Amino acid sequence: MKIQAAVAEAPGADFQMRTLELSEPQPDEVRVQIKAVGLCHTDLGVRDNPVGFLLPAVLGHEGAGIVEAVGASVTKVSPGDRVLISFRSCGVCPNCETGQPAYCRQLLPMNFGGGRMGGGSSFEGEPVSSNFFGQSSFATRALTYERNLVKLPPDVPFSVAAPLACGVQTGAGSVLRALDCAPGSSIVVIGGGTVGLSAVMAAKVRGCDPIILIEPMAERRTLALELGATHVIDPAAGETPPAVRAIAPFGVDFVMDASGVVAAVQAAFFYLATRGVIGLVGVPPGGSQLQLPMDLAITFGMSVRGVIEGDSDPEIFIPELLALHKAGRLPFDRLITTFPFDQINEAIAQQAMGRVVKVVLLMD
């Protein structure tokens, strides 16, 4: 069927609104009418550095909408269901079977293969890559898969739900699942975008203290204090290790990096308490290298670990996040600014200038 899509044409270039022909659902596919989709840094990262993902492409991986058609083997959802579309996983590999689908053995081909697993784009006609995160939801319709989908309760607007699919889930999951910060533990969060601020909110849910955000933009530091940060540090104001140590003299138990800035993470080794853990969450430019101070790491029992999607199992974790939101304990809706879908390039410009934290595009 004919759909409208925002097509990534070339690195650094604006998205182009185009009419594409979306093929009919295969037996394992679900067609969703997209009502809202979040903009995540990974969309722009892939557009601007499309290693292994051929442009032109339809990106977008925080879709929310209404199931419109299902393939013959689909049983989890039916037309009319309200759904959130998260990342794709196989469901049968050892990591999926133990509740870690973000580390699915098929994660790369299923989410970044540029087409269906059997080959070929789900767009007909001229070549346009599809199946980004198993959805390509910068479009009015998307083909996706049962394991991407989480059903949404009727009282959750699509515009609020969308960022749960990646950004909020990643930030909150990093604290609540991956690092599994204990109540009373101390944490530094680096970077006050959607992922970092979601980590701050989750740290408050978990009862961490202190919760320190390092972020250069004053408005975001102010917002972080409202959302649960106990302290904020402006990295432009001077060396950060003494600033952290002034708050936590023995260092902090956890550092969660949402910035992907190598120099910012490098400094984090000097924030850590004994047996402290650094979680790498923000994606740096390809090929970035961190220098591990081996003697410190050994002497103080430090760890560094990478975290994808907050170690989330969306089927389990998204309902938990929705419950926290409903209880007023995870007010991530405060991060969201909505734009009409056809203003995607204006929205990206606003976000680049730091005027908005989380862009959600609306299809209606």
- CB nearer to Zn ion: pick between 166 and 179: 166
Of 13-21, 101-109, 219-227, 297-305, the segment contacting Zn ion by CB under 5 A is 101-109
Does 117 participate in binding Zn ion (rule CB under 5 A)?
A: no
First and final C-alpha spacing in the chain: 18
The C-alpha R_g of the chain, in whole angstroms, comes to 20
The residue from 93, 262, 290, 356 that contacts Zn ion (CB under 5 A) is: 93
Yes or no: say if 178 and 198 are a contact pair by the CB < 8 Å rule.
no
Q: Which two tokens stand for residue 353?
A: 């200038």
- CB nearer to Zn ion: pick between 85 and 205: 85
State the number of CA atoms in the 13 A half-sphere of 264 facing the CB: 26
Q: Which residues pair with 203 in a beta bridge?
A: none
Q: Which residues pair with 4 in a beta bridge?
A: 19
Amino acid code (one letter) for 278: I
The least CB distance from residue 38 to Zn ion, in Å, is 8
- What residues numbered 130-169 form the site for Zn ion, per CB under 5 A? 166
Q: What string of DSSP letters covers 145-181?
A: EGGGEEE--TTS-HHHHGGGGTHHHHHHHIIIIIS-P
Cα separation of 251 and 244, whole Å? 7
- CB nearer to Zn ion: pick between 87 and 158: 87
- What residues numbered 233-252 form the site for Zn ion, per CB under 5 A? none
Does 84 participate in binding Zn ion (rule CB under 5 A)?
A: no
The least CB distance from residue 4 to Zn ion, in Å, is 22
Does 104 participate in binding Zn ion (rule CB under 5 A)?
A: yes
- What residues numbered 9-48 form the site for Zn ion, per CB under 5 A? 40, 42
The least CB distance from residue 360 to Zn ion, in Å, is 13
Yes or no: say if 290 and 262 are a contact pair by the CB < 8 Å rule.
yes
The least CB distance from residue 362 to Zn ion, in Å, is 18
Of 103-111, 139-147, 298-306, 341-349, the segment contacting Zn ion by CB under 5 A is 103-111
Which residues here bind Zn ion, judged by CB under 5 A?
40, 42, 89-90, 93, 96, 104, 166
